[in-house]
Amino acid sequence: MRRAGAALVALLLVMAAPAWAQSQEIVGDMAGPYQIIPTDGGAACGIQLTAERIGDAWRARPDPNCAARVRASAAVVAWRPMDGIVLLDAKGGAAMTFVEDETALPSSPDLRAPKHYLVPRIAGYTRMPRPAELVGQWTLRSRGRAPCLITLKEARVGNGKPKRTIALGQGCAGKPLPGRLTEWSMEDMKIMLWGPDDIMLMLNPVADNRYIAEPGAWVLSR
């Protein structure tokens, strides 16, 4: 029965797949462990995108907990690169479609209002915090410098957008960084620290409550 079921899945994927075939080299470069990250703060879901052919697609293996964490992933059995990444069900239909451009993370269902991101798996990163959860004290470190204590603040004025500011504490003297940082924001999964005259630190998550600015010169943690 299992062999018959696998054969049926492969047949359905072949019938539903587009006529053109993807480059095995591209697929090999893209294959690996990924995470589906809900943008609402829900728990992340791990998924393995393999280079194992299944019809005209490639096998995908969601973690056992994915069905509970990201409901749409429960049907996923395969994947295909297509202006991003499409996760396919057993009938070859799109269970989740992640679109991307040069500046944005692969996002589902679209770039304007993403509900999920698909990123290479980040060890120790279990969920994407909401901006309000980032409010509070953090430590900003740089090689060869004393740690700088900063406080991320958020204030709402009427019905307008929240005003997000930075209060500098002990160890933050120095120009232009970190002594002139004044504001912060969250862009997709990144924390952005801003100052006048285009001063900016873009910090990417490497674990829960730990972010780095490439190539690791600055670390923000708590």
> Rounded CA gap, 150 and 7, in Å?
57
**Residue 139 C-beta-side C-alpha neighbours within 13 Å:** 8
Q: State residue 123's pLDDT score.
A: 94
Q: How many CB atoms lie within 10 A of CB 72?
A: 20
> Rounded CA gap, 187 and 203, in Å?
10
Residue 177: name the closest of 148, 151, 153 by CA. 148
> Rounded CA gap, 109 and 87, in Å?
12
Number of H helices, E strands in the chain: 3, 16
Location of structure tokens 């009427």: 158
In CATH, the number for domain 2-120 is 2.40.128.10
Q: State residue 191's pLDDT score.
A: 98
pTM, full prediction: 0.84
Q: Tens of pLDDT along 43-67?
A: 999 999 999 999 989 999 999 999 9
Q: State residue 16's pLDDT score.
A: 42
Q: State residue 41's pLDDT score.
A: 96
Domains of the chain, residue spans: 2-120, 131-221
Instruction: Identify whether the C-beta of residue 167 lies closer than 8 Å to the C-beta of residue 148.
Output: no
Segments of the chain scoring below 50 in pLDDT: 1-22
Residue by residue, DSSP assigns 54-91 as ETTEEEEEE-TTHHHHSGGGGG--EEEESSEEEEE-TT
Cα 132 to its chain centre, rounded Å, is 18
